[in-house]
Structure 1
């Protein structure tokens, strides 16, 4: 029984191009008790591999977090399979605003301790005692209320290219970092203010809302479906769009444009730009914002040092990397002294 990918990303991309079929980029999550995550993982891999599903899926005892790409022609079969699983029947699917047939190139279903790394001891509070879920219309009304504090539950590199007007955007590297930081900053408003949170698709707010209620916040709300579903609801209902810029996403697209506003800047020259790239030097791979002009000048690299290495013969690059671990810059998401205009 095949429980692994047999094609490389390059081979898969070629097949997708030859097939000429439209694919849908989808995300969903569900907190639920899964007794045997590994068995469940194997079940998903076998069935989804048959449907040509690609993506990154995390399974844990606490539930599932999925970001994937499915052929449009197989969507109904995929949805039927989800509905055949008791706790996933009718689960909300966030379908991407901007589609890209190459958003994912492999099927990766991994067993993790948690579906989102939050650093919390779930046994210490009731994770089911969540905040109030609100749709786009109610969300807009809430954030217009002067008694509301609006908080972005994402990381600095996500909110840098797009966020809601007047939102608090914590300067953090991880979701785990944001939890205590936000509580400390808002400690004086647990009783008198409405705490309204949002994230990409809703999963981080799901856990955070329960945590903040446990920590004493009396009025806790979260945007149902996150930014992805907000954009869809705004368009369908002709509502005022209070988001600015792009929504960062965790696939090959890296972002979806929600509005025409460009609120970020190239990290190398400072010009308005909101295009995330990875440094072309394979020993670096730093995520940063780079405009087209700097990309040409720097050969898609983050620094002169990386440019020099990138222009070496490939075998020489491999020799220089041999025996060295992955650069810490890979995990710093735009934090590097070589980026002069990183805000």
Structure 2
């Protein structure tokens, strides 16, 4: 019985190209009390591997967080499987605006302590006591209200390429960093302001809204389905779109364009650009914004040093990496002294 992925990304990529079948990129999450996450993880992997589902899925005692690529022809089978799990029946599926055959190249189902790392150790904190979910129409009404404070619950590299007009965009690396910062900044408005939050698909806001209610905020709201669902409703209902730029996503596409506005800059030359790339030097792999001209000039690298390493024969590069841990740049997305135009 296969319980883990056995194909490399290159092998899977070749199979996908050969098959040439349409796939749907989607995501979903659910907070629930899962007694045995390891058993549930194996159940998911066995079923989804047979369906040729690919993606990155985290399972914990507190629930599930999934980002997936599903063969279009097997979507109904996939949906029926979810509906047979009591806490996933009719779960919201955030279908991507743009689909890519290679959005995911492996099936990874991992057991984690939490589905969203929050750094909290508070046994009185009830994640199910969440804020009020609002759709795109109500969300627009709320953020037009001068009594509303709008907060982006995403990280700096996400909000840099796209965000809602007038939103507070904390300059943070992780979700856990944002929780205490936002609470401190807004502590005087716990009772007199509407606290409205948004994120990519809703999972971070779900936890944040419950946390801020726990910390005494009275009027807490979250955008249901996140930016992904907002963009869909805006188009379907012909609503005013208050999001500008791109929506960062955590798959090989890296982003979905919501509007044509380019609100960020190439981190190497300062030219308007909103294309995220990873440094081609595998020992670095820094995520940053790079325009086409700089990509050509720098051989898809973030610095001259990485460019020199990337130019070496692959075996030489492997020798240089041998015995060394991953560079901190891998985890410090978009932050490095070599990025002269990182704002």
TM range (shorter): over 0.9
Secondary structure in 2 matching 1:59? strand
**Could you report, residue by residue, the CA deviation over 1:105-134 in whole angstroms, capped at 9, with x for unpaired residues?**
000000000001011125122222111000
1:258-294 deviations in Å (ceiling 9; x for gaps):
1111000000000000000000001100000000000
The corresponding residue for 1:148 is 148
Q: How does 1:311-322 map to 2 (within 5 A)?
A: 311-322=311-322
Gaps of 5+ in 2: none
- In the alignment, the residues of structure 2 paired with residue 288 and residue 125 of structure 1 have an alpha-carbon distance, to the nearest angstrom, of 35
Paired residues for 1:60-71 under 5 Å:
60-71=60-71
Q: Residue 119 of structure 1 corresponds to which residue in structure 2?
A: 119
Q: Is 1:211 equivalent to 2:211 in the alignment?
A: yes
> Once the 2 structures are TM-superposed, how far is the Cα of residue 316 of structure 1 from its aligned partner?
1.0
How far apart in 2 are the matches of 1:164 and 1:98?
Answer: 20
Task: Give matches, 1:23-172, under 5 Å.
Answer: 23-172=23-172
Question: Normalising by the residue count of structure 1, what TM-score does the alignment of the two structures yield?
Answer: 0.99
Distance in structure 2 (CA, Å) of the matches to 1:315 and 1:130: 52
Q: Distance in 1 between matches of 2:3 and 2:296?
A: 41
Name the residue aligned to 2:340: 340
Which consecutive segments of 4 or more residues in structure 1 shift more than 3 A?
A: none
**How far does residue 20 in structure 1 lie from its aligned partner after superposition?**
1.1
Secondary structure, aligned partner of 2:256: strand
For residues 293-322 of structure 1, the C-alpha deviation after alignment (integer angstroms, 9 at most, x for no partner) is 000000000000000010011111111111
Counterpart-to-counterpart distance in 2, 1:105 and 1:324 = 26
SS in 1 for 2:222: strand
**After alignment, is 118-127 or 325-334 more displaced?**
118-127
- What is the RMSD computed on CA atoms of the aligned residues? 0.6
In the TM superposition, residue 135 of structure 1 has moved relative to its aligned partner by 0.1
SS across alignment from 1:229? helix
1:185 aligned onto 2:185: yes
How far apart are the structure 1 equivalents of 2:16 and 2:322? 33
Aligned-residue offset at 1:60? 0.4
CA displacement 1:181-206 (0-9 Å, x = unmatched) = 00000111111110000000000000
Quick one: distance in 2 between partners of 1:263 and 1:320?
37
SS at match of 1:301: coil
- Matched position secondary structure for 2:123: helix
Equivalent positions of 1:260-339 (< 5 A) are 260-339=260-339
- SS class of match (1:123): coil
The 1-side partners of 2:283 and 2:86 are apart by 44
Return the alpha-carbon distance in structure 1 between the equivalents of residues 72 and 126 of structure 2.
38
Quote the Cα distance in structure 2 between the aligned partners of 1:74 and 1:216: 45
User: What is the alpha-carbon distance in structure 2 between the residues aligned to residue 91 and residue 125 of structure 1?
Assistant: 23
Tell me the SS of whatever aligns to 2:45: helix
- TM-score w.r.t. length of structure 2: 0.99
Unpaired runs of 5+ in structure 1? none
Give the stretch that moved more between structures: 117-126 or 33-42. 117-126
State the 1:4 CA deviation.
Answer: 1.1
Give matches, 1:178-257, under 5 Å: 178-257=178-257
Alpha-carbon distance between aligned partners in 1 of 2:8 and 2:325, rounded to the nearest angstrom: 23
Alignment partner, residue 15 of structure 1:
15
